[in-house]
Structure 1
Amino acid sequence: MRPAGKPRRLLAVVLPAAVSFALASCNAEPEAVKAESRPVRAVTTENRIAGDDIVLTGHVEAQNEASYGFRIGGRIVERLVNVGDRVRQGQVLARLDPQNEQNALRSAQAALAAARAQLNQASNAYDRQRQLLSRGFTTRAQYEQAEQANLTARSQVEDAEAQVRIAQDRLGFTELKADAAGTVTQRRAEPGEVVQPGQPIVIVARQNGRDAVFDVPAQMLQTAPGDPEIRISLTNDPSVTAIGRVREIAPQADAVTRTFAVRVGIDNPPEAMRLGSTVVGRVMVETGPVIEIPASALTRIDGQPAVWVVDPDKNTVALRQVTVDRFTPAAVAVSSGLKPAEIVVTAGVQALHPGQQVRLLGAQP
Structure 2
Amino acid sequence: MKYIKLRWLVLGFIVLALVAGVWRAMNQKQAQKAAASAPATAPTQLELASTDVMKAELRDITQGLAISGTVKAVNYAVIKARVAGELKDIMAREGDTVKAGDVLARIDPTEYQRRWQQTSEQATAAMAQMEIAKRAWENNQSLAAQNFISQAAMNNSEANYVGAVASHKAAMAGADVARKALDDATLRAPFAGIVSGRAAQVGERVSIDAKIMELVDLSQLEVEVPLSPSESMDVRVGQLAALQVEDRKTMVGAKVKRISPSAQAGSRSVLIYLALDKADGLRHGLFAKGILGMGKSQVLAVPLSAVRTDRAQPYVQVVEQVGDQLQVIHKIVTLGVRGMDMGQPESETMVAVTGLNEGSTVLKSNVGALRSGMAVRYTPVAANAASTSASAAR
Does residue 160 of the first structure (1) align with residue 171 of the second (2)? yes
- Shift in CA distance, 231/140, structure 1 to aligned 2, threshold 3 Å: same
Contact 2:245–2:252, Cα closer than 8 Å, also in 1? no
Cα distance in 1 between the residues matched to 2:255 and 2:146: 84
Cα distance in 1 between the residues matched to 2:357 and 2:188: 74
Give the letter aligned to residue 245 of structure 1: K
Contact 1:343–1:363, Cα closer than 8 Å, also in 2? no
Within the candidate set 113, 126, 135, 2:124 is matched to 113
Contact 2:85–2:206, Cα closer than 8 Å, also in 1? yes
Aligned twin of 1:174: 185
Cα distance in 1 between the residues matched to 2:284 and 2:308: 50
Deviation at 1:233, TM superposition (A): 6.6
Does residue 264 of the first structure (1) align with residue 274 of the second (2)? yes
Cα distance in 1 between the residues matched to 2:276 and 2:243: 8
Aligned twin of 2:204: 193
Contact 1:254–1:260, Cα closer than 8 Å, also in 2? no
Tell me the matched-pair count.
277
Deviation at 1:276, TM superposition (A): 5.7
| % same residue | 23
* SS of equivalent to 1:121: helix
Cα distance in 2 between the residues matched to 1:169 and 1:180: 20
Contact 2:99–2:191, Cα closer than 8 Å, also in 1? yes
Aligned twin of 1:135: 146
Structure number with bigger Rg: 1
TM-score, with normalisation over the residues of structure 2? 0.54
Does residue 334 of the first structure (1) align with residue 353 of the second (2)? yes
Cα distance in 2 between the residues matched to 1:273 and 1:305: 40
Aligned pairs for 1:226-305 (under 5 A) are 228-231=239-242, 242-247=252-257, 264-270=274-280, 272-275=281-284, 281=290, 304=313
Cα distance in 2 between the residues matched to 1:253 and 1:98: 42
Does residue 209 of the first structure (1) align with residue 220 of the second (2)? yes
* SS of equivalent to 1:192: coil
Cα distance in 2 between the residues matched to 1:206 and 1:343: 51
Deviation at 1:191, TM superposition (A): 2.1
Aligned pairs for 1:39-50 (under 5 A) are 50=61
Cα distance in 1 between the residues matched to 2:244 and 2:332: 41
Give the letter aligned to residue 209 of structure 1: Q
Deviation at 1:66, TM superposition (A): 0.9
Cα distance in 2 between the residues matched to 1:87 and 1:71: 20
Contact 2:86–2:107, Cα closer than 8 Å, also in 1? yes
Deviation at 1:172, TM superposition (A): 0.8
Once the two structures are superposed, residues 85-114 of structure 1 have per-residue CA deviations (whole angstroms, 9 ceiling, x without a partner) of 111111111111111111111111111121
Cα distance in 2 between the residues matched to 1:85 and 1:173: 22
Deviation at 1:120, TM superposition (A): 2.0
Contact 1:232–1:281, Cα closer than 8 Å, also in 2? yes
Once the two structures are superposed, residues 96-145 of structure 1 have per-residue CA deviations (whole angstroms, 9 ceiling, x without a partner) of 11111111111111111211221222222222222222222222222222
Cα distance in 2 between the residues matched to 1:112 and 1:305: 88
Cα distance in 2 between the residues matched to 1:201 and 1:139: 64
Give the letter aligned to residue 277 of structure 2: D
Once the two structures are superposed, residues 54-99 of structure 1 have per-residue CA deviations (whole angstroms, 9 ceiling, x without a partner) of 9988774323311121222222222221111111111111111111
Give the letter aligned to residue 265 of structure 1: A
TM-score, with normalisation over the residues of structure 1? 0.57
* SS of equivalent to 1:209: strand
Within the candidate set 81, 104, 117, 1:70 is matched to 81
Give the letter aligned to residue 68 of structure 1: I
Give the letter aligned to residue 173 of structure 1: D
CA-atom RMSD, angstroms? 5.0
* SS of equivalent to 1:183: strand
Q: Where does structure 2 lack aligned partners over 5 or more consecutive residues?
A: 1-56, 317-330, 339-349, 362-371, 374-390
Select the structure with the greater relative contact order (CA < 8 A; seq sep ≥ 6): 1
Does residue 145 of the first structure (1) align with residue 164 of the second (2)? no
